[in-house]
């Protein structure tokens, strides 16, 4: 099972947003932990199961004048376990 | 489309940038960094030697 | 809020500058190719010539012919030639209309503010044309060989370089002293978009160079084709060596001397090393730095790049290596000057300076073809633009698996493609298609291929000469407009400004020159004067 979400940075926190899901944390480690907790508590992640989360970075976070030089920041795949 | 995007500033505006830890708080040097630096220098050395032999316009030719 | 994410391999084909440089470049390249079928719909491209207020009797330089449609000189079909001859200064309007339509479609697809873009673009275009005109006054542009034709006893011998310098100066004045006006132009002041398009046009130039040389002799044509091939290989190897020396060097300087955190040092290492903003963003993403790190480094890079653009072409021309090793100078430029725009602009300036210098030194006995030195500067840059995607992938794996060691995270291989500079595809396509015409139906310049090669020339020249130089001019102007030197003073950069200064002048530039020398020393540019 896979989950797709958009990742951005609001200046202080990394924010991952998907359908009916939004978690924020100052570091990616904490973000991943909070995401796993949220998925467990919402029942989307059953105990012992694994879920692959694809996080596509939202490049509109980067100022427009920079986007002409580079159009990609990073995408990441995180596997969370229930 | 957001106003920030239209105005070209991106969703990160200068008010929301927290830049203090960008310059401060250097971590101690880790052995893996030594490895990274040496590996890239080694790649440079290998490509340099092969390149000098292979590229027809190099000083060796 | 609208998001801009890269999910599929084709994401961004209609919404990113990089792709739009390919579409715009290949569109005009395609229009040019039609002349091979005797359809000339490209000869309207405007081009300036040297002028003076009062030309001597029987001499050159009337203001009335200061701009002309390139088809007047290069069209193959006599009817087309006659038509383009009649355009004169009107060719500016033709060029404006054609480029406005194409760039505006691009701006709309990229979801820019179209009204603001068209307004900014219109002012930027005509301002650029005005500067192009002034820069071609014979006082600036004529050399000691041809100044007498314009009735001058003295000229600055800057060739086409004068217009580029003026465009940069005018742009910088606007960017630093008329910030309201710079804001008005900002939606259209996109140096990186213009230079990427110009690099696709440069692909036309590299492919066309053998065709041009073949008009002198078949042997010369093949010699030039061989030289561009050599630059391709030498550029690849030199760039990889340079980058793999630069990056760890700057990383160590940042970490050990300036005591910067790891992620900042990694991003600086790439930003200062070679490819500036694109590398800073790619590396920032790779090491999962907060975007602010890449943004700060990028702001620094664009300013230092312009400082290099101002200093290096003159140094390489007049101090070392000068005309004795022009391709060492060109490729070193590609490895030393950050950002595609500033590098290609510096390469072009160097091209103008060195060609003018050699012609002056030999009293016209040696004439180098335009664009080979620019090509050497751009070749190294293009390789690094491609290489950074791979290096960023390696760094991402090192950071995710070895340094941060985040459990459960993997680095998708598609990252390499998302970071690949797409405009490079347009550059290679344009180059190799013209090269295929030269070696294929053009019979490498043998008599039976010459008719086709002359027809191909009619379509190539307006693109590789007219549009390419115009887009370089737009790049110089918009680079100036977006460069605000005051940003260097902003306190939060403090330490980084110094890292940059030390790394650039004491490490990067000397190493770039040495590596360029190792791979390009002794490469000679063919003499077109016979």
Q: Chain B residue closest to A12 (CA)?
A: B18
| Better-scored residue on pLDDT, C486 or A70 | A70
What pLDDT shows up at residue C149? 87
**Residues of chain A with C-beta less than 8 angstroms from the C-beta of B13:** 11
Q: Is B22 close to C237, i.e. CB distance below 8 A?
A: no
Predicted confidence (pLDDT) at residue C530 exceeds the cutoff of 70:
no
Residue in C2, C230, C523 closest to B2 by CB: C2
CA gap C71, C42 in Å, rounded:
7
Interface mutation vs chain B, best among A17, A64, A70, A71, most B CBs within 10 Å: A64
Q: Give a yes or no: residue A79 inside a domain.
A: no
Looking up tokens 């063919």 gives: C526
CA gap A41, A25 in Å, rounded:
18
Q: Is A71 close to C17, i.e. CB distance below 8 A?
A: yes
Lowest-confidence pick of B38-47, C337-346, C452-461? C337-346
Confidence of residue B12 (pLDDT cuts 50, 70, 90): low
B48: alpha, beta or left? (left if phi > 0; alpha if psi -120 to 50): alpha
β-strands A50-57, A2-9 pairing: parallel
Question: Can you tell me the mean pLDDT for C14-23?
Answer: 93
Question: Can you tell me the mean pLDDT for A68-74?
Answer: 90
Terminal Cα-to-Cα distance of chain C (whole angstroms): 62
Question: Can you tell me the mean pLDDT for C274-281?
Answer: 85
What pLDDT shows up at residue C1? 47
**Residues of chain B with C-beta less than 8 angstroms from the C-beta of C251:** 33, 36-37
Percent of chain C with pLDDT over 90: 73
**pLDDT tens track for C295-315:** 888 888 888 888 999 999 999
DSSP C477-498: HHHHHH--THHHH-GGGHHHHH
Confidence of residue C122 (pLDDT cuts 50, 70, 90): very high
The tokens describing B14, both together, are 């200068």
CA gap C87, C99 in Å, rounded:
17
Lowest-confidence pick of C46-50, C161-165, C279-283, C404-408? C404-408
Confidence of residue C76 (pLDDT cuts 50, 70, 90): very high
Terminal Cα-to-Cα distance of chain A (whole angstroms): 12
Alpha carbon of B33: minimum distance to chain A alpha carbons (Å): 21
Partners of A50 in beta bridges: A81
**pLDDT tens track for C29-57:** 999 999 999 999 999 999 999 999 988 88
What pLDDT shows up at residue C496? 80
Q: What is the mean pLDDT of chain C?
A: 92
**pLDDT tens track for A9-68:** 988 899 999 888 899 999 999 999 999 999 999 888 888 889 999 999 998 888 888 888
Question: Can you tell me the mean pLDDT for B54-58?
Answer: 91
Residue in C238, C292, C523 closest to B12 by CB: C292
Residue in C1, C190, C412 closest to A68 by CB: C190
What domain range includes position A8? 1-46
Percent of chain C with pLDDT over 70: 98
Please, which residues have CB within 8 angstroms of residue C384's CB and are 6 or more apart in sequence?
C239, C242, C243, C274, C275, C279, C334, C335
CA gap A66, C18 in Å, rounded:
12
> Other CB atoms closer than 10 Å to residue C451's CB: what's the count?
12
The two counts, helices (H) then strands (E), for chain C are 23, 3
Q: Chain B residue closest to A8 (CA)?
A: B11
Half-sphere exposure of C240 (CA within 13 A, CB side): 21
Confidence of residue C481 (pLDDT cuts 50, 70, 90): very high
CA gap C75, C84 in Å, rounded:
8
Looking up tokens 């430029």 gives: C333
What pLDDT shows up at residue C91? 97
CA A74 to centroid of chain Cα atoms: 11
Query: Chain C contact for B54, CB < 8 A?
Result: yes
**Residues of chain A with C-beta less than 8 angstroms from the C-beta of B2:** 60
Partners of C137 in beta bridges: C51
Number of folded domains that form chain A = 1
Angle C72-C75-C80 (CA atoms, 0-180°, nearest 5)? 80
Residue in B8, B44, B59 closest to C245 by CB: B44
Q: Residues 12..31 of B with a Cβ closer than 8 Å to A: which?
A: 12-13, 15-18
Q: Give a yes or no: residue A17 inside a domain.
A: yes
Question: Can you tell me the mean pLDDT for C439-467?
Answer: 94
What pLDDT shows up at residue B20? 64
The answer to whether B5 touches A60, Cβ cutoff 8 Å, is: yes
C159: alpha, beta or left? (left if phi > 0; alpha if psi -120 to 50): left
CA B7 to centroid of chain Cα atoms: 29
What pLDDT shows up at residue A1? 53
CA gap C333, C509 in Å, rounded:
9
**pLDDT tens track for C199-241:** 999 999 999 999 999 988 899 999 999 999 999 999 999 999 9
Predicted confidence (pLDDT) at residue B18 exceeds the cutoff of 70:
no
Q: Is A11 close to B16, i.e. CB distance below 8 A?
A: yes
DSSP A39-58: HHHTTSS-TT-EEEEEEEE-
Q: Could you give the C-alpha distances from C26 to C419, C424, C429, C461, C494, in angstroms and in order? A: 21, 11, 8, 14, 43
Q: Which of C208, C97, C98 is nearest to C461 (CA)?
A: C208
Query: Chain B contact for A13, CB < 8 A?
Result: no
Q: Give a yes or no: residue A8 inside a domain.
A: yes
CA gap B2, B6 in Å, rounded:
6
**Residues of chain B with C-beta less than 8 angstroms from the C-beta of C521:** 59
Q: Is B59 close to C403, i.e. CB distance below 8 A?
A: no
**Residues of chain C with C-beta less than 8 angstroms from the C-beta of B33:** 251, 255, 262, 403
> Other CB atoms closer than 10 Å to residue C484's CB: what's the count?
17
Query: Chain C contact for B46, CB < 8 A?
Result: no
Q: Give a yes or no: residue A19 inside a domain.
A: yes
């Amino acid at each position: 099972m896979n989950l797709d979400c958009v990742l951005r940075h609001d200046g202080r926190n990394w924010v991952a947003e998907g359908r009916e899901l939004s978690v924020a944390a100052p570091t990616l480690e904490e973000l991943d932990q909070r995401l796993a907790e949220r998925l467990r508590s919402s029942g989307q992640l059953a105990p012992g199961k694994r879920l692959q989360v694809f996080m596509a970075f939202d490049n509109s976070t980067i100022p427009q004048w920079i986007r002409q030089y580079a159009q990609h920041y990073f995408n990441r795949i995180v596997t969370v376990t229930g | 489309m957001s106003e920030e995007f239209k105005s070209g500033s991106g969703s990160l505006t200068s008010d929301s940038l927290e830049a203090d830890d960008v310059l401060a708080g250097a971590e101690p040097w880790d052995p893996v960094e030594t490895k990274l630096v040496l590996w890239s220098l080694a790649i440079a050395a290998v490509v340099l030697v092969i390149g000098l032999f292979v590229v027809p316009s190099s000083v060796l030719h | 809020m609208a998001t801009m994410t890269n999910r599929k391999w084709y994401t961004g084909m209609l919404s990113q500058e990089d792709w739009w440089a390919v579409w715009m470049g290949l569109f005009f390249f395609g229009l040019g190719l039609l002349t091979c079928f005797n359809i000339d719909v490209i000869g309207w491209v405007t081009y300036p010539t040297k002028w003076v207020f009062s030309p001597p009797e029987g001499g050159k330089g009337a203001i009335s012919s200061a701009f002309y449609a390139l088809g007047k000189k290069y069209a193959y079909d006599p009817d087309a030639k006659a038509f383009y001859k009649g355009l004169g200064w009107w060719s500016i309007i033709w060029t404006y209309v054609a480029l406005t339509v194409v760039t505006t479609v691009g701006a709309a697809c990229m979801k820019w503010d179209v009204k603001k873009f068209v307004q900014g673009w219109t002012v930027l275009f005509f301002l650029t044309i005005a500067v192009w005109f002034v820069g071609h006054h014979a006082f600036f542009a004529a050399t000691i060989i041809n100044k007498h034709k314009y009735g001058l006893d003295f000229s600055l011998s800057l060739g086409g370089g004068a217009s580029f310098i003026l465009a940069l100066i005018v742009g910088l004045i606007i960017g630093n002293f008329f910030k309201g006006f710079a804001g008005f132009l900002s939606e259209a002041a996109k140096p990186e978009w213009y230079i990427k398009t110009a690099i696709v046009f440069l692909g036309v130039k590299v492919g066309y160079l053998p065709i041009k040389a073949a008009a002198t002799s078949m042997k010369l044509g093949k010699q030039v084709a061989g030289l561009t091939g050599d630059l391709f290989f030498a550029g690849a190897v030199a760039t990889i060596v340079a980058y793999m020396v630069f990056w760890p060097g700057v990383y160590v300087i940042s970490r050990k001397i300036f005591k910067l955190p790891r992620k900042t040092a990694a991003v600086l290492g790439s930003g200062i090393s070679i490819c500036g903003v694109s590398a800073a963003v790619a590396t920032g993403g790779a090491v999962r730095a907060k975007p602010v790190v890449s943004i700060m480094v990028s702001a620094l890079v664009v300013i230092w790049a312009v400082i290099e653009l101002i200093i290096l072409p003159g140094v390489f021309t007049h101090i070392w290596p000068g005309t004795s090793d022009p391709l060492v100078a060109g490729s070193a430029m590609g490895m030393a000057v950050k950002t595609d725009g500033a590098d290609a602009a510096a390469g072009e300036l160097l091209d103008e300076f060195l060609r003018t210098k050699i012609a002056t030194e030999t009293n016209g006995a040696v004439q180098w073809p335009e664009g080979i030195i620019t090509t050497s500067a751009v070749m190294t840059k293009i390789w690094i633009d491609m290489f950074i995607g791979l290096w960023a992938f390696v760094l991402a794996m090192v950071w995710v698996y070895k340094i941060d060691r985040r459990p459960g995270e993997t680095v998708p291989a598609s990252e390499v493609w998302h970071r690949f500079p797409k405009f490079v595809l347009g550059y290679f396509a344009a180059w190799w298609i013209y090269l295929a015409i030269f070696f294929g139906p053009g019979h490498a310049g043998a008599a039976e291929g010459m008719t086709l090669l002359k027809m191909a020339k009619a379509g190539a020249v307006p693109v590789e000469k007219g549009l390419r130089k115009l887009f370089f001019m737009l790049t110089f102007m918009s680079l100036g407009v977006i460069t605000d030197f005051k940003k260097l003073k902003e306190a939060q950069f403090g330490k980084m400004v110094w890292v940059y200064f030390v790394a650039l002048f004491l490490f990067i530039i000397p190493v770039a020159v040495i590596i360029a020398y190792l791979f390009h020393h002794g490469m000679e540019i063919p003499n077109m004067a016979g």
